[in-house]
């Protein structure tokens, strides 16, 4: 309640009520604030302050045994915030969307059963005002690093100072902290962030997701360095063995401070976790088939495997279980990304024409047994998608200054990728693409598409593994039929990561995870500020004031209704820009596991949650 409103009613309040109100802290905006066990982006947290455990965790899950995960790629770093390595940080260290935070932890734990809500972890409570002009975290006095040191406000302050560093530190952290005017210690266990004019309503939640590094573990010179030295964190596991590029093994910290917190009860159930790295998906699947000595779960990336590859003894006799999980999360964006920093992809008409020439129907039928659905939105499979929905009044108001950037079809919700005849050479679509290019100054000479500058239209598609290569080769064959030469180049993980981080490609095949609460992270994917920032996820090189304005509308929305309208308006702009050739998705999640790996009966909103799984010795 604003102070001026409260003053008017003070004389009418009973003395005990008045005393209680005056005991509450006052936010910088002149509104009363109160500490809470959790914080949601809109509305209130789903779980009350006395909750015992997350509904998607089994508090009675047995502890013990070993888990082996498999991933594709390579690693050369244990630093949770550095992007300087030629490869990438080892999986599970921090901010791992699949395996959880094994070594480093954030201030608060995000719920997998709500769009965007955090509950207590290192920070026991969170406090902000109605206008979200500040956020204050009170740290749990029992919080400890793995070497036994207490986690203090000084550790948070030191972490903030280091993450403000520009350069080879993950750019989202410096971006978040650029919206903070000051950080100060409050009392024995508190840390308060006071915001500047650049802040938005999402910032308190983003800061709840900050890692906490022990003071003195890094300094200004080493914070961006890669390292293979095991580090001190506060998470449930310790780094045990490191074999760069091959595997990393974590062992349970027997003195883990948070094991009985509501946000951790029923989680982190293995004594040991090994993450095995593979250079080839076939090798990964073969390891999964061997089970006991190799790999225990397989997250199915390919319908062909799901439908045809489980004819070996362990799958036939029930030792391996195939499961389908429902999820309320939007589909992942899987796409060819045009690098608009380079010619000819800065031209939207060229991008639109090239997008017409990907024959999804042929690819789906011939490579994937017809199992996929074509992506048509950046938020498919959710109510955040604009496709099939005309823009509402709020969207039209938001888009009014930027109507030149929105196609009529996107505004009405009717714009979708084309449907081909499935031949790989649909003449109608090829004719339409040629017409678009010719209207833009291109022409066909000696069977080659030539641009206004007289040069052939030729580019490279960069891929990381064989399944991407197959899709890209199918695309290249259709492009060749209209005189466009696309060279498909598959590189190893080190080259792929280096070229991706430095935007050294024409077209790249990549993906973004779907989210029910898109917000500030979208700046790093599509915002102007990330266009030329090495290591950002703005693969397409988008720098559009209209896109920036919609991201601001999303992160400043007070109600869920206004938020959904802002996301749909944002979706319409991205669709209109033809920044990608959208590929496909499967609405469900497919997971195969050895029978001795069990999971809770409740699946959270965002799909299966691996940190809540456990190993059952009775099923081995």
Sequence spans of domains, the chain: 1-32, 333-585
Contacts of 267 (CB under 8 A, 6+ apart): 54, 57, 100, 236, 611, 612
Give pLDDT, residue 305. Answer: 84
Q: Is the pLDDT of residue 419 over 60?
A: yes
Q: Which stretches does DSSP call E strand in 286-369?
A: 297-299, 320-325, 333-338
Do 452 and 479 form a contact (C-beta atoms < 8 A)? no
What tokens appear for 376 in the block?
């048509």
Q: What is the pLDDT of residue 166?
A: 59
Q: What is the pLDDT of residues 441-462, one digit of tens each?
A: 999 999 999 999 999 999 999 9
Whether the CB-CB separation of 486 and 475 falls below 8 Å is answered with yes
Helix (H, G, I), strand (E, B) or coil at 314: helix
Residue 18 has pLDDT above 70, yes or no: no
Task: Tell me the C-alpha distance between 27 and 33, whole Å.
Answer: 6
Q: For residues 194 and 181, is the Cβ–Cβ distance under 8 A?
A: yes
Q: What is the pLDDT of residue 86?
A: 56
pLDDT (mean) for 63-92: 87
Q: In the chain, count of helices (H) and strands (E)? A: 18, 25
pLDDT, mean of residues 337-359: 98
* Domain 333-585 sits in CATH 3.10.105.10: yes
Question: What is the C-alpha to C-alpha distance for residues 521 and 173, in angstroms, rounded to an integer?
Answer: 10
The confidence score (pLDDT) of residue 504 equals 97
| Residues sharing a CB contact under 8 Å with residue 205, sequence separation 6 or more, in sequence order | 39, 41, 116, 118
Q: Which helix (H) or strand (E) holds 488?
A: strand 485-490
What's the pLDDT at 551?
Answer: 97
Q: In this predicted structure, what is the pLDDT of residue 149?
A: 97
- Neighbouring C-alpha atoms within 13 Å toward the C-beta of 248: 24
Distance CA 324, CA 592 (A): 9
Q: What whole-number distance in Å separates Cα of residue 257 and Cα of residue 276?
A: 27
pLDDT band at 28 (very low <50, low <70, confident <90, very high): very low
Separation of first and last alpha carbons in the chain: 59
Give the mean pLDDT of 532-550. Answer: 96
Whether the model clears a pTM of 0.85, i.e. scores above it, the answer is: no
Comparing 19-33, 102-116, 272-286, 310-324, which segment has the lowest mean pLDDT? 19-33
> For residue 10, what pLDDT is reported?
41
Q: Do 605 and 55 contact (CB within 8 A), yes or no?
A: no
Contact in structure between 68 and 277 (CB atoms under 8 Å): no
Distance CA 36, CA 56 (A): 22
Tell the burial category of 400 from Cβ atoms under 10 Å away from its Cβ (0-12, 13-18, 19+): exposed
| 512, β-bridge pairs | 333
In sequence order, the β-bridge partners of residue 488 are 461
pLDDT band, very low/low/confident/very high, at 87 (cuts 50, 70, 90): low
What does the pLDDT look like over 131-163, one tens digit per residue?
A: 999 999 999 999 999 999 999 999 999 999 999
Quick check: helix, strand or coil at residue 215? strand
H or E segment at 543?
A: none
pLDDT > 70: what percent of the chain? 93
* Cis peptide bond N-terminal to 344, omega within 30: yes
496 contact partners, CB below 8 Å, separation of at least 6: 462, 464
Question: Looking at residue 401, what is its pLDDT?
Answer: 98
pLDDT band of residue 204 (cuts 50, 70, 90) is very high
148 neighbors 128 (Cβ within 8 angstroms): no
110 φ/ψ angles, rounded to the nearest 5 degrees: -80, 140
Q: What span, in angstroms and rounded, lies between the C-alpha atoms of 34 and 128?
A: 7
Place 294 in a pLDDT band, splitting at 50, 70 and 90.
Answer: confident
φ and ψ at residue 498, rounded to 5 degrees: -65, -45
Answer yes or no: is pLDDT of 474 > 90. yes
- Mean of pLDDT values over 117-134: 97
Computed over its alpha carbons, how large is the radius of gyration of the chain? 26
């Amino acid at each position: 309640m604003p102070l001026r409103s409260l003053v008017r009613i003070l004389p009418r309040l009973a003395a005990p009520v008045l005393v209680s109100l005056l005991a509450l802290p006052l936010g910088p905006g002149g509104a009363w604030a109160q500490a809470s066990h959790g914080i949601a982006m809109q509305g209130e947290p789903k779980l009350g302050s006395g909750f015992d455990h997350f509904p998607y965790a089994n508090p009675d899950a047995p502890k013990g045994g070993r888990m082996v995960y498999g991933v594709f790629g390579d690693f050369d770093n244990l630093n949770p915030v550095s992007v300087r390595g030629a490869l990438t940080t080892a999986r599970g260290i921090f901010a791992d969307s699949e395996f959880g935070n094994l070594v480093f932890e954030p201030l608060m734990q995000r719920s997998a059963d709500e769009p965007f809500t955090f509950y207590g972890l290192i920070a026991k409570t969170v406090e902000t005002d109605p206008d979200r002009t500040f956020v204050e975290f009170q740290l749990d006095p029992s919080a400890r690093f793995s070497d036994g040191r207490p986690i203090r406000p000084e550790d948070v302050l030191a972490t903030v100072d280091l993450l403000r560093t520009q350069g080879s530190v993950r750019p989202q952290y410096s971006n978040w902290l650029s919206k903070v005017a000051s950080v100060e210690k409050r009392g024995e266990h508190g840390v308060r962030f006071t915001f500047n004019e650049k802040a938005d309503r999402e910032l308190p939640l983003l800061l709840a997701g900050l890692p906490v590094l022990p003071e003195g573990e890094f300094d200004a010179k080493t914070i961006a360095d890669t390292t293979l030295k095991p580090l001190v964190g506060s998470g449930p596991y310790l780094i045990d063995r490191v074999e760069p590029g091959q595997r990393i093994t974590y062992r349970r910290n027997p003195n883990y401070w948070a094991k009985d917190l509501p946000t951790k009860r029923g989680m982190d159930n293995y004594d040991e976790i090994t993450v095995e790295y593979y250079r080839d998906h076939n090798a990964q699947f073969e390891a999964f088939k061997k089970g006991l000595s190799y790999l225990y779960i397989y997250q199915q990336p390919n319908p062909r495997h799901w439908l045809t590859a489980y004819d070996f003894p362990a799958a036939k006799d029930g030792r391996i279980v195939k499961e389908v999980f429902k999820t309320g999360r939007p589909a992942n964006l899987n796409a060819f990304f045009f690098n608009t920093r380079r010619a000819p992809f800065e031209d939207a008409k060229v991008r639109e024409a090239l997008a017409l020439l990907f024959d999804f129907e042929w690819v789906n039928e011939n490579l994937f047994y017809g199992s996929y659905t074509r992506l048509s939105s950046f938020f498919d499979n959710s109510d955040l998608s604009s496709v099939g929905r005309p823009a509402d009044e709020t969207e039209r108001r938001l888009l009014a200054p930027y109507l030149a950037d929105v196609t009529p079809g996107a505004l009405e919700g009717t714009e979708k990728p084309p449907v081909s005849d499935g031949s790989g050479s649909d003449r109608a679509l090829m004719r339409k693409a040629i017409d678009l290019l010719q209207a833009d100054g291109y022409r066909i000479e000696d069977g080659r598409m030539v641009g206004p500058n007289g040069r052939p239209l030729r580019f490279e598609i960069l891929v990381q593994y064989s399944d991407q290569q197959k899709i890209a080769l199918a695309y290249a064959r259709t492009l060749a039929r209209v005189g466009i030469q696309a060279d498909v180049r598959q590189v190893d993980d080190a080259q792929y990561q280096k070229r991706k981080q430095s935007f050294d490609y024409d077209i790249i095949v990549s993906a973004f995870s779907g989210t029910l609460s898109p917000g500030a992270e979208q700046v790093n994917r599509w915002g102007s500020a990330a266009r030329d920032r090495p290591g950002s996820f703005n693969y397409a090189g988008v720098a559009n004031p209209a896109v920036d304005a919609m991201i601001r509308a999303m992160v400043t929305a007070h109600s869920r209704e206004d938020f959904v309208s802002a996301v749909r308006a944002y979706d319409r702009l991205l669709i209109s820009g033809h920044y990608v050739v959208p590929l496909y998705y499967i609405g469900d999640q497919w997971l195969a596991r050895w029978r001795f790996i069990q999971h809770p009966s409740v699946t959270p909103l965002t799909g299966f949650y691996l940190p809540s799984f456990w190993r059952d010795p009775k099923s081995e």
